[in-house]
Structure 1
């Protein structure tokens, strides 16, 4: 009995000691979390990128508003209205699907799509972050992409008096609309013409326009495509369509006699790109095993490297949301040539007049 009592006392002491240690450790852990919670949150997985729009006042330092360009012939708000009257009208058809509405399409809608004369998202469901959508019934999977795109062009045909050119892109494409407008400025939109990044199919070596980089059809090409190729069933009756939407489009346009235009600039540099800028700018990618396919099937020489980049670039593909905003910021807001109206000032003055008190940064 005495032995049992002694064992009970020892267990009680150990329990009390363990409880005290646990309380102290818990207190230290809570204190640590409260002190360094920002660092702890920093190592957690990032939440989805929010949609970001910049107001006109936010870019006032360079004299422009959201969507206005001033460097290298870019227009400010004062003459933008005149520019829109004289520039070709561009209808942008952007292919997306419900699973990518928030991850991709919403960021396109917040950035470059605002520069189209009209931007319409081809999808199977509405979303509040997509202001203008065309529901493509019965075309919800990748294998039904040809049906989705043709529904978009049939709709565009009905609106043909409102635009000059139609560009089809994906929801991870970045498009410089102004450069596209300049490239087609002297062309007759009523002539059946199309352009983009010219590639060859592996099976037949026939030329097609890569869908990810985006392809452009004149109003005349859209008219012929819809009236003869789709509604008249000329293409479906005489061609064997496969799963590739961009290959089907090029086969149909070629069969209908639509002229394919060289999309490179006057120096022979590509303006439509199947990769994001960080890949295209890297000359090492030219010999990469993963990009040999592009060199093999490119109709015109496709070169990597900074010196091979066109000043008149029109599109990049596989652009994630963060890069979408980065490109949009650098192209439309950064203006090193503008006369700045915001000079450096005293840090003490800034801190004194700051609306929110700022804590000093932790030095490590």
Structure 2
């Protein structure tokens, strides 16, 4: 009887050992879904962002995206201190350098550099304000940065995605990109609120050719349209910012409107170059900018993007090629 019990006990141990061994082997092959361990990596500006351990770079350019140098020009106003504080505490810390572009000096937000223009306040003077900022950036910083981002103080920018995008094209060639509008300029223009980026060569050319030769208004009109005219006249090429699935990475209106607006009746239908910029499939997994983001939403966006992980979701693998910055040919 005793020997029989010992035999049964040994048999149970052997069965348990076999089962544990099978589980370990299958877990290693990915047969069983296991949670991905995440650690927070401190970036150059002391913000923590999640990165899966042992992953390679998610871009075909390897780690070169981290070396893309971006100067951010953020339009604001004397009444925009709350907006500036929110931008400065969230995404703008990831710019290599930033200026808040104002028409008159206000109490300084922590670590905020202000560029005071001689122009009057108000939407009617945004063209002159942006011309001044771009000219200043060219004269003072043209050799320091690869790309120049212009956006508003209600734009949220995911700088990592922007750098990945820019790493795949040459800043020494004249180009610019953003949310592409198809009217008023032959090659279209980029939504000002959605933000647009200009290569270092295009910045040189727009200042020395476009602005100097009067290809756009000195002031008045719509800032994004006028800057688009001068960029086109100076030879800057419009690059598509759609991802490889044809989804938008820059957004001209609020995320809510992009997701829920009726694509048949919403005003953006008549302006957007991409016919599929609204609805559930509007917005890329690898989005770069969002517009009309309130100060409180800046903090919410930032926390959800950088400090929240959803357990139990098996994310699809990152594709080898995410962006396809091809020139957009006018139709």
Q: TM-score by structure 2 length?
A: 0.72
Q: 1:108 aligns with which of 79, 87, 96?
A: 87
Change in Cα spacing, 1:74 to 1:106, as seen in structure 2 (3 Å) is farther
Matched, 1:276 2:257: no
Match of 1:129 in 2: 109
Deviation per CA, 1:280-334: give whole Å up to 9, x if none: 233xx12474x2x101121122333344321110111111112111110011112
Deviation at 1:205, TM superposition (A): 7.0
Structure showing greater radius of gyration is 1
Match of 1:358 in 2: none
Structure ranking higher in helix proportion: 1
Change in Cα spacing, 1:91 to 1:287, as seen in structure 2 (3 Å) is same
Matched, 1:194 2:176: yes
SS in 1 for 2:176: strand
SS in 2 for 1:163: coil
Write the mapping of 1:339-358 to structure 2, written as runs, cut at 5 A.
Answer: none
Match of 1:312 in 2: 286
Match of 1:259 in 2: 237
Change in Cα spacing, 1:277 to 1:71, as seen in structure 2 (3 Å) is farther
Counterpart CA distance in 1 for 2:187 and 2:244 is 25
Cα RMSD for the two superposed structures: 2.7
Match of 2:262 in 1: 286
Unaligned runs of 5+ residues in structure 2 are 1-37, 56-61, 313-331
Structure 1 stretches of 4+ with a deviation exceeding 3 A read 61-66, 71-75, 82-86, 203-206, 239-242, 305-308, 335-338
1:286–1:303 contact (8 Å) kept in structure 2:
no
SS in 1 for 2:173: coil
Match of 2:76 in 1: 96
Match of 2:163 in 1: 181
Change in Cα spacing, 1:63 to 1:196, as seen in structure 2 (3 Å) is closer
Match of 1:213 in 2: 194
Counterpart CA distance in 1 for 2:146 and 2:167 is 10
Change in Cα spacing, 1:303 to 1:63, as seen in structure 2 (3 Å) is closer
Match of 1:152 in 2: 133
Deviation at 1:165, TM superposition (A): 0.3
Aligned length: 263
Match of 2:151 in 1: 169
Deviation at 1:86, TM superposition (A): 4.2
Counterpart CA distance in 2 for 1:151 and 1:74 is 45
Q: TM-score by structure 1 length?
A: 0.66
